[in-house]
């Protein structure tokens, strides 16, 4: 009987270890999310629509202080730390390219990445202008401690007064609002941004709330200034 009890105990211990392993595997196999802190893990994945930007921005200063060179393999992302290295794969063709995040954008709802001309050519998407992609972070070059807060952009206008009017409407829901003036090739644009959030979960909750309260198309951006 002692031997039987011992074997039974060993069997239950084995089942417990296997159960823990299954829990760990299920956690690892779930969908990856964008980083919520400066110490985000390599391997985060995002899928969505990528676009590209080229001649009109060539030579302009990027968010990390470099001059944009459309012939280099770089890209703009709204929230990933500047210096992130990502493999971008076209869901349409399967072609891949590795790029470095050195700029912010795209500032359009529903898009996740703005590739340089060189990056877009590598994926074969310059003709169509956009493509369905999968982005996977594989490395990092830079100082994560320099990451700024997250904000929610609720609008962008050519008319400054329209931006100020919207800012007045949304600041009743979230403080820390501002109008950011940006000099683009097509002229000045006034971006309306609200809130200062420490995590993407908080910022995305604000996006959902603002969408339910006002006819807006808000999205999350990182403030690197």
Closest to 169 in 3D by CA, of 155, 180, 186, 187: 155
pTM: 0.72
195, 174 Cβ separation under 8 angstroms: yes
d(CA 208, CA 217): 10
Distance (Å, rounded) from C-alpha 63 to C-alpha 56?
16
pLDDT digits (tens, 9 = 90+) for 105-163: 998 888 999 999 999 999 999 999 999 999 999 998 866 555 778 999 999 999 999 99
Q: Which residues contact 165 (CB under 8 A, 6 or more apart)?
A: none
CATH 3.30.70.1070 fits 148-222, yes or no: yes
- pLDDT class for 41, splitting at 50, 70, 90? low
How many Cβ atoms sit within 10 Å of the Cβ of residue 114?
A: 24
CA 198 remoteness from chain centre: 14
Question: In angstroms, rounded to a whole number, what is the distance separating the alpha carbons of residues 203 and 18?
Answer: 37
pLDDT of residue 176: 84
Sheet-wide strand order for 187-197: 178-184, 187-197, 150-157, 219-222
Question: How many angstroms separate the most distant Cα atoms in the chain?
Answer: 86
| Lowest mean per-residue pLDDT among 6-10, 26-30, 139-143, 168-172 | 26-30
DSSP per residue over 78-102, as a string? SSSPTTEEEEEEETTT--EEEEEEE
Domain boundaries, the chain: 45-145, 148-222
Residue 187: its pLDDT value, please?
A: 87
pLDDT digits (tens, 9 = 90+) for 53-90: 988 889 888 988 899 999 999 999 999 988 999 999 99
pLDDT at 50: 97
pLDDT attached to residue 224: 77
**Strand bridging mode 219-222 / 150-157:** antiparallel
Residue 47: the pLDDT is 96
What pLDDT is recorded for position 90?
97
Confidence of residue 193 (pLDDT cuts 50, 70, 90): very high
How many whole angstroms separate alpha carbon 103 and alpha carbon 68? 8
Q: Of all helices (H) and strands (E), which one includes residue 136?
A: strand 130-140
What does CATH list as the number for 45-145?
2.40.40.10
């Amino acid at each position: 009987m002692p031997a039987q009890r011992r074997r039974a105990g060993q069997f239950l211990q084995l089942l417990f270890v296997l159960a823990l392993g299954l829990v760990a595997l299920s956690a690892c196999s779930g969908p990856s999310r964008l980083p919520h802190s400066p110490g985000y893990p390599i391997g985060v994945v995002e899928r969505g629509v990528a676009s590209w930007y080229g001649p009109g921005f060539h030579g302009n200063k990027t968010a990390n202080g470099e001059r944009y060179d459309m012939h280099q393999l770089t890209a703009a992302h709204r929230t990933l730390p500047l210096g992130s290295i990502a493999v971008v794969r076209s869901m349409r063709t399967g072609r891949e390219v590795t790029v470095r995040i050195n700029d912010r954008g795209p500032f359009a709802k529903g898009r996740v990445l703005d590739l340089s001309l060189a990056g877009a050519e590598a994926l074969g998407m310059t003709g169509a202008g956009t493509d369905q992609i999968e982005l996977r972070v594989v490395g990092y070059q830079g100082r994560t401690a320099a990451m700024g807060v997250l904000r929610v952009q609720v609008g962008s206008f050519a008319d400054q007064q329209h931006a100020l009017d919207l800012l007045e409407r949304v600041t009743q829901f979230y403080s820390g609002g501002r109008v950011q003036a940006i000099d683009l090739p097509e002229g000045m644009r006034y971006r309306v941004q609200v809130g200062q959030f420490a995590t993407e979960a908080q910022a995305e909750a604000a996006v959902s709330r603002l969408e339910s309260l006002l006819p807006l198309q808000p999205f999350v951006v990182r403030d690197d200034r």
